[in-house]
Amino acid sequence: MTSPLGIIGAGAIGGTLARLAVAAGLDVIIGNSRGPETLADLIDELGRHARAATAREVAREADIIVAVIPLSAYADLPATELAGKVVLDTTNYYPQRDGQIQPLDDQDSTASELVQEHLADSSVVKAINSIAFASLGNGARPAGSPERSTLPIAGGDADAKQRATALLDTLGCDALDIGPLSEGGRSEPGTPAYCDPYMPAWPTEPLPTDELLAWLLSAPVVPVSTEQLRSLIASAERGPAGGYFPETL
């Protein structure tokens, strides 16, 4: 990659992606909603291959950008600056966080189709939405490793999907193309491929939030092969839209 990897959103999964990217030798430009000055600690940690910017600057300066924001904020993605770019969309629909989104509740659309509608002149690839940030961060492995995992990608632009696959490869995982964005629902919350296959079984007793987070961060990663993922994706059935955060998280 000649331009830096752009990341819009610097929270749990955006920060994890930035760490993986820098560790893989990429330059990173990352932004959030509150402004670059609020990312000083993260940039200190990441070192000289990362810098903070506004979301618009991230969109302008990178050719491939990962959108790592709550779905409720998707209309803030800077469509003009993102025109002509590849945008990896990690968003998932959680009504508790995002509020009710009618076209999703009515099953007229999927999360990434809404993002593509907003970013009409970009090539949106749904990616990195179905693995928890800790599994992503702990699970990166070099190509060919038996412990390497496969993640689903979906989108309407074959070239963009190829670039998303190359980026995932660099970050330490394989990609399985599951079709157009309309099929992206097969990797959304509540489906068999969503997050759990990459983790050991959840603790059987309820834990306070800090202990649950500590468990999540240290849980060993369970690799999911391409064949396993293919079968999980094929078994997905469309249920009610959206996921649900347990009260203890």
Stretch that binds ligand NAP, among 12-20, 43-51, 165-173, 227-235 (CB under 6 A): 12-20
Report, in Å, the least distance between residue 204 CB and ligand NAP: 21
Q: Per CB under 6 A, which of residues 61..90 are in contact with ligand NAP?
A: 68-71, 73, 76, 90
50 neighbors 28 (Cβ within 8 angstroms) = yes
Report, in Å, the least distance between residue 27 CB and ligand NAP: 19
177 neighbors 161 (Cβ within 8 angstroms) = yes
**Residue span 110-149 as binding mask against ligand NAP, x where in contact by CB under 6 A, dash where not:** -------------------x--xx----------------
Q: How many CA atoms lie within 13 A of 111 on its CB side?
A: 33
Report, in Å, the least distance between residue 65 CB and ligand NAP: 11
Q: Both tokens of residue 16?
A: 């994890």
Q: Would you count residue 91 as binding ligand NAP (CB under 6 A)?
A: yes
Interior angle at CA 243, CA 92 and CA 90, nearest 5: 15
At 233, the amino acid letter reads I
Q: Would you count residue 198 as binding ligand NAP (CB under 6 A)?
A: no
31 neighbors 81 (Cβ within 8 angstroms) = no
Minimal CB distance to ligand NAP: which residue? 11
Q: Which of 1, 3, 12, 117 binds ligand NAP (CB under 6 A)?
A: 12
Interface with ligand NAP (CB under 6 A), residue total: 23
**Residue span 23-62 as binding mask against ligand NAP, x where in contact by CB under 6 A, dash where not:** ---------xxx--------------------x-------
**Residue span 152-191 as binding mask against ligand NAP, x where in contact by CB under 6 A, dash where not:** ----------------------------------------
Q: Would you count residue 213 as binding ligand NAP (CB under 6 A)?
A: no
Phi first, then psi: give them for residue 64, nearest 5 degrees.
Answer: -125, 125
Residue with tokens 């990459």: 198
How far apart CA 36 and CA 20 sit, in angstroms, is 20
Report, in Å, the least distance between residue 71 CB and ligand NAP: 5
Report, in Å, the least distance between residue 48 CB and ligand NAP: 21
Report, in Å, the least distance between residue 137 CB and ligand NAP: 9
- Kindly list the residues in this chain that would bind ligand NAP in the complex (CB under 6 A): 8-14, 32-34, 55, 68-71, 73, 76, 90-92, 129, 132-133
